[in-house]
Amino acid sequence: MSNDEDNTIESQKKPIKEEYISNAPDDSSAPSLDEDKMVLATPSKVEYKSSEIKPSSEEESLSAKAKDAGQSLKDLIIYLGQKAKAISHEKTTDLKAEAAQTADLDIRKDARDIQKLGDNIESIITVFENIMTDIRRERYGEQERLLIGYKKLLEEQVNVIDARLKMAKRLKLASA
């Protein structure tokens, strides 16, 4: 290799210098094995020349194609993310609307069921309000005891309603 080529590496090598430092009073004698020694070493300086290697047109086109492919992949991922977000937003909106319609239907059905009770519902409400008014007239200690008892009575009435509902469903299935 000649010095004119760009890919050459110049290095300057220097030998490592060893110096022995002795703790003995007499420095003129050669170092012996019993003495403490210190070795000083200086590193060599190596210099490297670097040169720019110009890529060929084929390498440049491959690099450009790789960059284009990377950008296309990035664009595709962004598009898919936006599409997924739009679809999930649409599905969420549909589910909310469907839930609202179902809730409205349940409310309407409950209202119709209550209306079917007709005149009976008014008397039930009147009895409840009269009992609550009578309890309010009592002392607080007595109110507490009466309200606990009334709540237990209502819970038992709910249990009777549930039992009759189950019986009606069984009889409906048996007659069908």
Residue 152 above 90 pLDDT? yes
Tokens coding 92 = 């969420």
- Give the per-residue pLDDT at 52: 65
- 104 or 15: which leads in pLDDT: 104
Helix axes 119-136, 140-175, angle to 10 degrees: 160
B/e letters for 20-31, b = 16+ CB within 10 Å, e = fewer, are eebeeeeeeeee
91-110 confidence digits (pLDDT tens): 999 998 888 888 888 888 88
Kindly report the pTM of this predicted structure. Answer: 0.38
- Give the per-residue pLDDT at 18: 47
Pinpoint the alpha helices (H) of the chain. Answer: 57-117, 119-136, 140-175
Residue 24 above 80 pLDDT? no
Q: Which of 7-16, 27-36, 121-130, 139-148 has the highest mean pLDDT?
A: 139-148
Pairwise CA distance, residues 139 & 97, whole Å: 50
108-139 confidence digits (pLDDT tens): 888 888 788 877 888 888 999 999 999 999 99
* Residue 150 burial (C-beta neighbours within 10 Å; 0-12, 13-18, 19+): middle
Query: 60-69, 84-93, 125-134 — which is least confidently predicted?
Result: 60-69
Q: Which of 15-24, 37-46, 136-145 has the highest mean pLDDT?
A: 136-145
DSSP secondary structure of 12-37: ---PPP------SS--SSPP-TTS--
Residue 49 above 80 pLDDT? no
How does residue 6 score in pLDDT terms, banded at 50, 70 and 90?
very low
Pairwise CA distance, residues 86 & 44, whole Å: 65
